[in-house]
Structure 1
């Protein structure tokens, strides 16, 4: 029987260097969404697997010695992999409890790869939080591309944002993201900069103005900007850095595969270049 709770914030603990950041980001989102945090650890069932160094990934000493024992081995058996996962989930639960946010947390120990685990939670979660450097064979881009749930990618350390950049391109995916932002309490307390990169045409100006008005009507403090630049990722990075914006929000992989092949993917470029939390909304 599944213990997955609907509308959870799912914290993916697959990345040793980002476990604490993923937990911090998940707790930040959980408080705003008033949602439980599902602590997810994925472990494919393999006869032999190289040990992953989770020791010291959280500031909890009680069980670090046990995790270090697993790390010292070159390979782990299935039983040892399961024990390592249970210890990691126990540490993550303790860490969340120590923050005194009175959050509801529960654990999801999945005996499958991260792709399958994300597919398992995808339809019922409110938000998936993942570290920037995943340990699975699939790239971060591949995981995001197949998801139907918003995904928050975080670096370490996680810094709670006070401002956000919403990259608006008037696409169906961006309009879905716009509608979601107007409804979700996740960004309610943030100042949202809605930024469009493109020519200063009447169509672009009208679309940007309407989107800005919709955010304002939803009670979200907003600013709007149109940047005339050919390189979308470079323009967004420059604007974000110039205004010290703590959260980037875009649609995920809105371009066609052919355009990505010819021109490159703006989403991939931003995943590589941005150093702040990055919220990606699934393609319409």
Structure 2
């Protein structure tokens, strides 16, 4: 019995040491291009979506030294007996400083036959700690947002750091320039235990890119309008997150319907020599 207890403590201490070492290693996000095919997973509520299909194209480059550039496009075709066919098309580009101190963004979105909505702006952390936003579109404006906000790539790095450390929850305010460029999201991320094995479930393109050799965790992020008390999330995103920032097995829950995203293409680009 004493040997068993001692062995248990030794394993526990070793796991703590391994976790501390992983947490101390800087997060290196992999430059990559990925394509996900979207299909309808479930539907409920008044919108009555009968079928859905679409695609996400994701192009992420850069590093902590030079900053991170993202090009994203999501096209979704919704079909129902009530509304017929509706096509939504969202295109965004952004650039985030490697330290998370500045963020530039542009987006164009269109739903059905409606007008194209454009957003163009930039955000910076000021010397007093506040975050200032300058919008060029949809109209010129200046505003301040919560000083503790994270920009998207900084949020992703925080998620990986939390997962490595064995944390199960991460709350953060996130600003990504979406909606009209004025919205800040309260987010709650639930991080599951590290997925051991099960590499046979990975897509062929993931195994070819050696993702089966990396740590990965199930993550579920709920996005809320800032406020107090119980709130219904605006939407919920679930995925498996790899240690290098690549995601697979997407689920996008918009409330009335949920889409599933399956990785169909992945090109991992050469890593930079950045030491940060």
Same fold (TM over 0.5): no
More strand by share: 2
TM-score normalised per structure 2: 0.21
More helix by share: 1
